[in-house]
Amino acid sequence: MEREKIGVLMGGPSTEREVSLNTGRAILGALREKGYDAVGIDLDPPRFLEQLRENGVTFVFNAIHGKFGEDGALQGALDLLGIPYTGSGVLASALAMDKSISKRLFQAAGIPTPRAEFYTKSDAKRNLPVEIMQKFSLPLVVKAAAQGSSIGVVIVEEESQVQAAVAEAFRYSDCIVVENFIKGTELTVAILGGKPLEVLPIIEIVPRSGRYDYHSKYTKGTTEYIIPARINDNAAERVRQAAVAAFNLLGCRGVARVDIMLDDENNPYVLEVNTVPGMTATSLVPKAAAAAGISFADLCERILLLAKEERISRQP
């Protein structure tokens, strides 16, 4: 890697732009600390190819959350250009980003996930609040299918809130997911690719507001993170198995984070898989890595080297 010029792609036009900038800056600093020749690039899609050429980029560290960076678009462009990059490829990225597709795959594969129904904007011509209330009991969850960072996610506790929740989710996505609300313990599992996979310590998430929303995720002091999670060994093993199954099913590479709810009977439910997890001061993957004795700089280097190993393994 000493001959590579690493472009840390960050920012971009998505709703998660600010989080991505924070992630990218942190990664850029870590790579430079490790001695890598790295440059930060705020993605401007129309000038994407020019940005890479201007900076002499030969290897990309993807730090873009949401649109372009996490949905397979960036991965496809880099594949066409023959430029290697960190993290999952086109298909895994696209599948994980679209919760309506990934949840269908979880269901088909027998991976436990909350029961859900899926609606598109064309369905909004019908009386969706009535349909939803006929199929679900309260509370329920309404979420945009193709967003991260809890953007476009609403937990509905009263029937009168359903219409507004549906409208809010449709603001961010042409497809929405309505699913059962799972009462229990909120967990997340970070997985580092490679052979074998490395499952980092399970994190228990305890937001002081009671809801792990955008504010709770990115505001210091609003959420308590407990590592390892306060669950028994049997529950922890079931959670790890569900996380690894979801990671493998979607074909993830590099690093990914699997969000899981554990109900009061210790049954795990996979909510989603994040293929470009946050790497900010309040982010979960660095916390899990630290609990495993991996510093932030070492974590960034591990992710980079995993991408290098993947490139070598795919060469004819």
- Predicted pLDDT of residue 239: 98
In this structure, the answer to whether residues 155 and 259 fall within a common structural domain is no
> Does residue 40 lie within any of the structural domains?
yes
Same domain, 193 and 305: yes
Q: Identify the pLDDT of residue 220.
A: 59
Asked, for residue 103, whether it belongs to a domain, the answer is no
Residue 34 domain flag: yes
- pLDDT confidence of residue 316: 39
Q: What is the pLDDT of residue 83?
A: 96
Same domain, 201 and 300: yes
> What pLDDT score does 297 carry?
96
Q: Which amino acid is at 152?
A: G
Whether residue 196 sits in one domain with residue 290? yes
Binding residue positions for Mg(2+): 259, 272, 274
198 and 275 in a single domain? The answer is yes
Residue that terminates a domain, selected from 151, 180, 209:
180
Q: Looking at 34, 67, 86, which one is the last position of a domain?
A: 86
> What is the total count of domains within the chain?
3
Name, in order, each residue with C-beta under 8 angstroms of 249's C-beta and a sequence gap of 6 or more.
105, 106, 109, 111
10-residue block means of pLDDT along the chain (316 residues)?
89 90 96 97 96 97 93 96 96 95 97 96 87 94 78 87 92 91 95 94 85 50 87 98 98 97 96 93 90 96 92 54
- What is the domain-level CATH number for residue 133? 3.30.1490.20
Domain that holds residue 245: 183-312
73 and 156 housed in the same domain: no
CA-nearest of 213, 206, 176 to 188 is: 206
What's 55's domain CATH number? 3.40.50.20
pLDDT of residue 210: 59
173 and 188 share a domain? no
Residues 134 and 36 in one domain: no
Q: What is the pLDDT of residue 1?
A: 65
Q: ∠ at Cα 257 (253, 263), nearest 5°?
A: 135
Buried b (16+ CB within 10 A) or exposed e, 257-289: bbbbbbeeeeebbbbbbbbbbbbbebbbbbbbb
Q: Is residue 200 within 8 Å of 190, Cβ to Cβ? A: yes
Same domain, 80 and 119: no
Residue 125, pLDDT score: 79
d(CA 258, CA 242): 9
The answer to whether residue 1 sits within a structural domain is: no
Would you please indicate which residues are annotated as catalytic (active-site) residues?
Answer: 16, 149, 283
Residues 77 and 171 in one domain: no
* One domain for residues 284 and 164: no
Model confidence, pTM: 0.91
Which residues lie below 8 Å from residue 104, measured CB to CB, with a gap of 6+? 118
Identify whether residues 57 and 167 lie together within a single domain: no
